[in-house]
């Protein structure tokens, strides 16, 4: 992209200081407005006035961030290169249209001039002046439009060439923007897909846990319903057996 074209577009809106923004602002990243003011060697209010003018034409965009300590917002800015080029294209379209009208006018309408006073009139106004110069009263001479028409046509060709470059840059910038949008859409689709898969996985895991919980609950309920088995006779403890032995030995005596 031709940086000169962006500078020309900025200059048409905000003058020389706006033109200097091209070397400071980026078309991709935002730059803090206080840093912009420092680099321009202007006050923050002067800088903001320039940026607001450009913003009205859509040639710059901003984002704001709140200062947690002070409580106010600070703005950061970036150049919108596509809008700047489209703005410049609009200016050139008007100039080309004006030149076309001037060429057509010179080719079809006669002009008269005073060589002494360097004043020129079209045929209608020359007739009103009775073909006499209102300044020195000299007789007006018919102008030779050949050189004027050639100059207009050269200017027209230069503007057409410039317009072609701008249109090419605009198409390239539109393609770049479209690619960015496509990447953003793909990223969003991928994120949504991953989110659906994650939620689906979580749902399956929850169902599994709930199913296991129900199975354990069912097993406990079935265990409660089962009839109790007959209690087996208790085995004699060592103390009881020792007591029995002592009794037997005492009887033998």
Classify residue 228 by its DSSP letter.
Answer: P
Mean pLDDT for 200-219 is 85
Boundary residue ending a domain (40, 63, 79): 79
pLDDT band at 237 (very low <50, low <70, confident <90, very high): low
Mean pLDDT for 167-189 is 87
In a domain, 93, yes or no: yes
Q: Name 162's Cβ contacts closer than 8 Å, sequence gap at least 6.
A: 92
Same domain, yes or no: 96 and 136 = yes
In a domain, 215, yes or no: no
pLDDT score recorded for residue 184: 85
Q: Which of 12-16, 17-21, 124-128, 235-239 has the lowest mean pLDDT?
A: 235-239
In a domain, 190, yes or no: no
Mean pLDDT for 119-134 is 90
In a domain, 251, yes or no: no
CA-based max dimension of the chain: 177
pLDDT band at 218 (very low <50, low <70, confident <90, very high): confident
In a domain, 249, yes or no: no
Residue 75 main-chain phi, psi, to 5 deg? -105, 145
Same domain, yes or no: 71 and 133 = no
Same domain, yes or no: 55 and 115 = no
Boundary residue ending a domain (15, 48, 79): 79
Same domain, yes or no: 75 and 96 = no
Question: Does position 252 have pLDDT exceeding 70, yes or no?
Answer: no
pLDDT score recorded for residue 209: 87
Same domain, yes or no: 49 and 89 = no
pLDDT score recorded for residue 253: 47
Same domain, yes or no: 110 and 56 = no
Q: Name 195's Cβ contacts closer than 8 Å, sequence gap at least 6.
A: none
Classify residue 28 by its DSSP letter.
Answer: S
Mean pLDDT for 23-43 is 91
Residue percentage of the chain with pLDDT more than 90: 45
Residue-averaged pLDDT of the chain: 86
**Domain enclosing residue 9, as ranges:** 3-79
Boundary residue ending a domain (79, 107, 142): 79
On whether the CB atoms of residues 99 and 92 are closer than 8 A, the answer is no
Q: How many Cα atoms sit within 13 Å of 176 on the Cβ side? A: 12
Could you count the other beta carbons within 10 Å of the beta carbon of residue 114?
A: 20
Number of domains the chain contains: 2
Mean pLDDT for 92-117 is 92
In a domain, 246, yes or no: no
In a domain, 182, yes or no: no
pLDDT score recorded for residue 207: 87
In a domain, 155, yes or no: yes
CATH number of domain containing 34: 1.10.10.10
Query: Does pTM top 0.75 for this prediction?
Result: no
| 154-170: pLDDT as tens digits | 999 999 999 999 999 99
Candidates 38, 22, 132; CA nearest to 84 is 22
């Amino acid at each position: 992209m031709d940086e000169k074209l962006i500078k020309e577009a900025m200059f048409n809106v905000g003058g020389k200081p706006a033109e200097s923004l091209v070397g400071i602002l980026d078309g991709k990243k935002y730059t803090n407005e206080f840093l912009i003011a420092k680099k321009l060697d202007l006050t923050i209010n002067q800088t903001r006035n320039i940026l607001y003018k450009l913003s009205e034409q859509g040639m710059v965009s901003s984002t704001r961030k709140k200062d947690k300590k002070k409580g106010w917002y600070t703005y950061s800015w970036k150049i919108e290169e596509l809008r700047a080029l489209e703005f410049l294209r609009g200016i050139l379209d008007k100039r080309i249209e004006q030149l076309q009208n001037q060429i057509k006018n010179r080719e079809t309408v006669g002009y008269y001039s005073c060589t002494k006073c360097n004043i020129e009139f079209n045929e209608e106004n020359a007739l009103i002046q009775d073909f006499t110069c209102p300044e020195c009263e000299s007789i007006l001479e018919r102008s030779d439009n050949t050189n004027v028409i050639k100059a207009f046509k050269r200017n027209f060709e230069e503007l057409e060439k410039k317009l072609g470059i701008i249109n090419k840059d605009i198409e390239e910038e539109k393609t770049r923007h479209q690619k960015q949008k496509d990447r953003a859409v793909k990223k969003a689709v991928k994120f949504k897909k991953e989110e659906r898969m994650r939620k689906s996985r979580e749902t399956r895991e929850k169902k599994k846990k709930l199913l296991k919980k129900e199975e354990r609950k069912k097993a406990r309920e079935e265990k409660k319903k089962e009839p109790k088995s007959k209690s087996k006779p208790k085995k004699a403890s060592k103390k009881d057996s020792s007591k029995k032995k002592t009794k037997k030995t005492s009887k033998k005596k």
